[in-house]
Each structure stands twice: as C-alpha cells, then as structure tokens.
Amino acid sequence: MKKNILKSIFIKISRMLGYEIVDQNKFYSPTLQKELNDDLSVINKKSIVLPLGEVKITRKIKSILVIIRINTNVEIWDQNKKRIFESPKIEYTLRSLTSLIKSISFCKEKRSDIDYKMIIVDDNSREENINKIMKIINKSNLNIKFINHKNEEHKNVIKKQSNEETFSNLSSLLKCFEIGKNEGEDLVFFAEDDYLHFKTSLEEIIATYERISSQLKKELFICPSDYPYFYMNNEKTNILIGSKRHWRTINKTLCTFVISHKFINLYWENLYNNCLDRHDPFEKYLNEIYEKEVCISPIKSLAIHMANINSSYGLSPFIDYKSLWEENNYN
C-alpha cells in the first residue's frame, strides 16, 4: 500500500512538471492514462512518438482554409490518356469532394480548436454537374462556399494560350492563389478535384505540420501525395518523423499542397508568376521555392492522384486504390 501511495505521488509530481512516465512492463503511460499503442500526443502541447520521446509544440495551427478547384468539363488536361477506372471526369470530382469533406469532418472531431473553411472554385461546369456538386455540399455540415469562376477575370493578366483549356487551368489556379492570399489566415490547402483523400489525411497533415515546424522552428510546405516520380531519379532525401508515419523531403510538387499564409505573402511573386503563362514544368516557379524552403510528402501517401495507371505523376505505391474509390461513393 505504501508503495502504491508513493507511486501515485510520483505520477502527480511528474504531471505537474510536464513529464510523461512509460511503464514498459504494462505497456501503459500512467501520466497520460493511455495504452502505448494509442495516440500519446497532447493537442497544442506536445507530439509524442515512441521511442523518440516528445516534441513541444511551439507552432500551433489556428485555422485551415481548404480551396479545391474543380473542372468537370476536361477529362485529363493536356493528355489523351484515360484515368484509372475510366469513368467520366465528374465521377472523380464528386468522389474527390466526398473524400475531402470526410477528411475535414474527421479532423474537426479530433481538433475542435481549429477553424475550418472550405471554398470550391468551379471552372464553368455545366448546370447538371453543379447540381450534383451542390447535393454533396448540402449533405455536409461544413462551412463550404461555392464560386463559379469566369476566366475573363484574368484575360488582361494571363498570356494568351494555344487553347482555352490551358488558359482556364492557369486562370482557376490564379483565382485559388488570390483567395488564399486574401482570405487565408493560417494554413491554406490548395487541392485539385482528381485526388482521393484518406479520412485521416487532414488530421495527420496538421499534426505533422505542428510537430516538424516546431522542431525546425520554421514554416514549411506539405504535399499530401507520395508520387511515383519521387523514386525515379534516385535523388537524395531526408526522412522525418511525422505524427503517425515517415515523411520525406522533396523538391517538386504538383498544384495540390499545403502552405502557410505567411509563405503565401512571402512567395506571392512565385505563385503569381506561375499562373501568367504555361511553363515547363508547369509548376516551375512553385518548384523554385523548394530550393529555399522545406517541403515534405508522406510515406505512405495520404492522398492519391487518380491519373492514368502508368503516369509518373499519378498513383502512389502500396495503396488499395479500389477500396479507396469505393469508400468514397457519394450515392
């Protein structure tokens, strides 16, 4: 009994001092009152990963603005290939939107301390497709704003392109960047409508951002996809520990990524210039930022680019694509 009293006092003192105790015999933390297989992190205070210990969270996320751009008229921009499962583009848009809403809702349940907003930038979809999109929006309990973007808004800004599809792609991207700059407060997630997101994706992105940003004492970029092209040139990389998986440093992304509002302002010239003309690669000015700043992607992937099965910019390895596709059936 005396031993139990001393143990109880020791646990209380440890809590007061901010220390955690691990009982490896019982596989339990008495200070956290959790099994060691559970998520041991304490929101807004510390990120704990066994056996590496804790990282004190100094970079706390206050809000996230998710901006997804949608084009249901173009099957695959600049390609004649078909996507995996060979469905009409609207099907990918609706499932992508469904998966993103699920991920935001899951994160909202776990992280009620964060403010969530979502904006859809639609690139002139037909009315029948807009009605399908609105049906999904209306079923959700999220703060979602729908914008029907008109490309004429940028006719005097973006260089004339060889076809309307390319101009439209540049214009909708610039619109998203402008919204992120004007309406973003903390994190901004620029998303595209041909990615399927795992339910846990956003929660892991935020927790990992807090952990690694706190460690590095600087802002960073996050790409949610583990693209095949990351493994094709045998490039050197650094492996980091996130909240629940490994992450790697990368120097290229597509146009789906997470950025802080601070970085939007700091690198606005790059974001803006990337949309003024078609470049080679398309993300030329975006990739220039990664020569200066840290950008990371997850291993395994948290979001899957539903492109052609042979695309180096598409499907991430070791994923059950069919299950993820079926899980996000919106009917």
Q: In angstroms, rounded to a whole number, what is the distance separating the alpha carbons of residues 251 and 265?
A: 20
State CA 209 to chain mean position distance: 10
- Nearest Cα to Cα of residue 198 among 132, 133, 105: 105
Q: In angstroms, rounded to a whole number, what is the distance separating the alpha carbons of residues 267 and 252?
A: 16
- Verdict on whether the full-model pTM lies above 0.75: yes
Task: Confirm or reject CATH 3.90.550.10 for domain 63-327, answering yes or no.
Answer: yes
Q: Residue-wise pLDDT tens for the chain (331 aa)?
A: 555 665 566 566 656 666 676 778 777 777 777 888 888 888 888 899 988 888 999 999 999 999 999 999 877 766 778 999 999 999 999 999 999 999 999 999 999 999 999 999 999 899 999 999 999 999 998 989 999 999 999 999 999 999 999 999 999 999 999 999 999 999 999 999 999 999 999 999 999 999 999 999 999 999 999 999 999 988 899 999 999 999 999 999 999 999 999 999 999 999 999 999 999 999 999 999 999 999 999 999 999 999 999 999 999 999 999 999 999 999 8
3 state DSSP class of 155: coil
Is residue 147 within 8 A of residue 119, CB to CB? The reply is yes
Q: Could you tell me the residue ranges of all domains in the chain?
A: 2-38, 63-327
- The pLDDT assigned to 7 comes to 58
3 state DSSP class of 310: coil
Is residue 118 within 8 A of residue 144, CB to CB? The reply is yes
3 state DSSP class of 68: strand
- The pLDDT assigned to 235 comes to 87
